[in-house]
Chains A and B, each alone.
Chain A
Amino acid sequence: MAGLTGRMSTVVKAKVSKLLDKAEDPGETLDYSYQKQVEQLQNVKKGIADVVTAKKRLQMQESSLQQSVVKLDTQARQALAAGNEQLAKAALERKNVAQTELQGLDTQVAELEDQQQKLTDSEQKLRAKIEAFRTKKEVIKAQYSAAEAQVRISEAATGVGEQMADVGLAMQRAVDKTENMRARADAVQELEAAGTFDDVTQLGGGEDDIDRQLKQLSSAPAVEDELAKMKAELGGGAAAPQISAPGPAGADAPPAGADPSEAGQAGESGGQA
C-alpha cells in the first residue's frame, strides 16, 4: 500500500504515535493530545482567515478593474465621436488588457471561494472530533487501567489525528493555490502602477512606452473589431458632433450617460502615462 492511501496513513500514524510518546502517564497523554488538538484548531482558523484575506484582495482588484473597463470604454466612445481614432484605439487596447486580467481574477476568486468553503467544513468536522475526544478522554481516565487506557487513547487519537492531517493537507493545497494567485495579483498591480489602465486623455501626442507594450499585449483583431462596432454604433446616431474632443481641445464635457465620477478621475491620474 504505497499509493496516496499508504502515504497518508503512515504520516497520520507517525504523528499520533509521536504525540503519545511524549508523555508516560496515559492521563497526561490524553490532556496533552487534547491541548495539541486545540492548538491545531487555532491554526486552521488562521489558515482560513488567510484565504479570506487573499480573496478580498482579488475582489478589490476586480472592482477596480471593472471601473477601468467602464472608464476606458467611455473614453473610446468620446474619442471616436470627436474623430480621434488613434486615441479611441489606445483606450480600447487598454480596455482589452483590463478585461483579460478581469477574467483571470474571476476564475481565481471562484476557486478561493471553493477552498474557503472546504476548509470551513473541515474545520467544523475537526472541532466536532476534538469535542468528542475531550468527552472520551474523561471517560477513559475514569474507567480504565493504564494499559487498557493506552490502547483506547491510541484509537481515539488516531481518529482525531487523521482529521487533523486531512485538514492539514487541504490547508497546504489552499496555501499553494493562494501563492499562485498572489503572483497574479502582483502582476495586475504592476500593470496598474505602470499606468496601464489610466486615463487615455492624459496621453501626450507621441506614443509612449506603455502604449507600445499594450499593442503587443492586447490582441489587435479584438481591438479592431470593437473599434468597427463602435464606429457603426456612432454612425447610426446624429449625436456625434455634440461631443467635444478630449485632449488638447479640452475634455470638459462628458457625454450623456457617462459616469459623473469619470471627470474627477481624469483630472487626478495625470502625469502617469
Chain B
Amino acid sequence: MIVRISGEGQYRLDDADAQKLNELENGVVAVVEGGSEDGFKDALARLLDYARTHGTPLADDELEASDVILPPADISFEEAGREFTGEGLIPD
C-alpha cells in the first residue's frame, strides 16, 4: 500500500497496516467533528507518525500512484474541518 503525506512524500506500507491507519484517521475525524481543537494536533501527529515509522519512503523517481493521501502536517483545525467528512480514510 502506498501512502502519501501531503506536502511531504510517499511511503510504502504493509497492507496489514491499513486497518491501524484507518483507526487513527477515524480518531482525527472524531476530534474534528467534535468541534474542539483540543487533541487535534496530537491525533494528527499520531496518524502521520504511524505512516512515517511503519513505511519506507519511496524514491523521488518512482512513479507510483498513492492508495491513500493524508493531509499535510501543518494543516490547521479550520482547514481540517473543511477537508474531512464523516467517512473514514480507507473504504471497507
Contacts and interface: CB of A to CB of B under 8 A. Distances in A.
B4 A162 contact: yes
A114 B69 CA distance: 21
A159 B10 CA distance: 11
A12 B72 CA distance: 16
A169 interface: yes
Interface string A238-251: 00000000000000
B56 to A, nearest CB: 16
Interface in A123-160: 124-125, 128-129, 131-133, 136, 155-156, 158-160
Contact of A1 (B6, B9, B60, B89): B89
Query: How many of chain A's residues touch chain B, expressed as a range?
Result: 20 to 34
B72 A132 contact: no
Contact of B64 (A3, A6, A131, A159): A159
Contact of A131 (B61, B68, B74): B61
A140 to B, nearest CB: 11
Contacts of A132: 61-63
Nearest to B87: A2
Interface string B43-86: 00000000000000001111111101111101000000001110
B84 A8 contact: no
B61 A129 contact: yes
Interface string A42-74: 000000000000000000000000000000000
Nearest to B88: A3
Given A122-B7, A169-B6, A169-B7, A1 B91 contact: yes
B31 interface: no
Contact of B4 (A128, A133, A166): A166
B71 A129 contact: no
Interface of A: 1-9, 12, 114, 118, 122, 124-125, 128-129, 131-133, 136, 155-156, 158-160, 162, 166, 169-170, 173
Given A9-B69, A173-B7, 7 more contacts: A4-B6, A5-B90, A122-B7, A132-B63, A156-B63, A159-B62, A170-B7
> Shortest 10 CB-CB distances between A and B: which pairs?
A159-B63, A128-B60, A132-B61, A4-B83, A158-B65, A8-B69, A128-B61, A156-B63, A170-B7, A125-B60
22 contacts: A1-B87, A1-B88, A2-B85, A3-B88, A4-B6, A5-B68, A5-B90, A8-B6, A118-B7, A124-B60, A128-B59, A128-B60, A129-B60, A132-B61, A132-B62, A158-B65, A159-B62, A162-B69, A166-B6, A169-B6, A169-B7, A173-B72
